[in-house]
Copies of this chain bind each other. A is one copy, B any other.
């Protein structure tokens, strides 16, 4: 639904590129952008286990340009990144655990691809607005709560290190070449169109899968850790506003709901809606090392600047999410994308 804040009308007719546009956040954003009559191009590498799912936009494939390629493969993508008005740069490897098992892959797919892409973008689309999706994981274990944007960055996994490195590329290009970037540091987003075939990303969605497939919902630790769940529609609202707001240029913001919910409360809520049981279980060793403990982000800066507040009610949004996966679960519970090659549409 178009936003009452009115940013949506500003996208009409704009050239908008969404990297990682087949993924969870990307596809929800793409769907909204297409409602505004923006000219949308998606670049997505369709790496396995990274959330890309053609089903996310299958009904809209005729309305957009879809390029299945790594953003770092400049030969493949260069003609599609010319003269873009706005780039939502969401392409990333996002698995914390995965980055420890395969740090080189995380480096290649995050830093190497992003640096190539940003270099090309600087040349081919120097005036573009660019919105980068950073991550809570950049902060690591909090030294104080709530964690504001000036909190030191001490990630507890390789993925967090690389998310920061790529954010730093954006900042540096802003300072050196007037790159018009904003970084939004995101945390615990849930909602429809999230991958549900493995548990390396987004544990609330994983609870839903467990609940819907007749398993016990498995809470690591004592469940008292608080998390700040943000519904995908609120994320999209905020991104649409930020993409049109010059005051956000050159800035980094936390993007959070600031309504802390404990992990056990979340499990209980999913349990109620699905009928599944839930139980606590000790952290597996590889997970305890990347568990940041109690963490709460301070989202005051962005809220004040934009006059934005999340609208979603936790229980209602959870119900909508569960209802989506009840209907389409089979499209998400197995891996859907493994290097699909499409007939690409060329740029206009």
Contacts and interface: CB of A to CB of B under 8 A. Distances in A.
Which label, helix, strand, loop or mixed, suits the secondary structure of the A interface?
Answer: helix
Contacts of A55: none
A68 to B, nearest CB: 23
B119 A115 contact: no
A164 B167 CA distance: 13
A157 interface: yes
A107 B100 CA distance: 20
Contacts of A157: 172
Interface in A247-290: 289
A276 to B, nearest CB: 33
A119 B103 contact: yes
Contact of A119 (B104, B150, B161, B164): B104
Contacts of A82: none
A73 to B, nearest CB: 13
A168 interface: yes
Q: Which of A156, A161, A169 has the most CB atoms of chain B within a 10 A radius of its CB?
A: A161
A183 to B, nearest CB: 13
Interface in A145-179: 150, 152-158, 161-162, 164-165, 168-169, 171-172, 175-176
A155 B165 CA distance: 11
A282 B116 CA distance: 32
Given A104-B115, A104-B116, A115-B104, A161 B172 contact: yes
A112 interface: yes
Given A104-B115, A104-B119, 4 more contacts: A152-B152, A155-B168, A155-B172, A158-B169
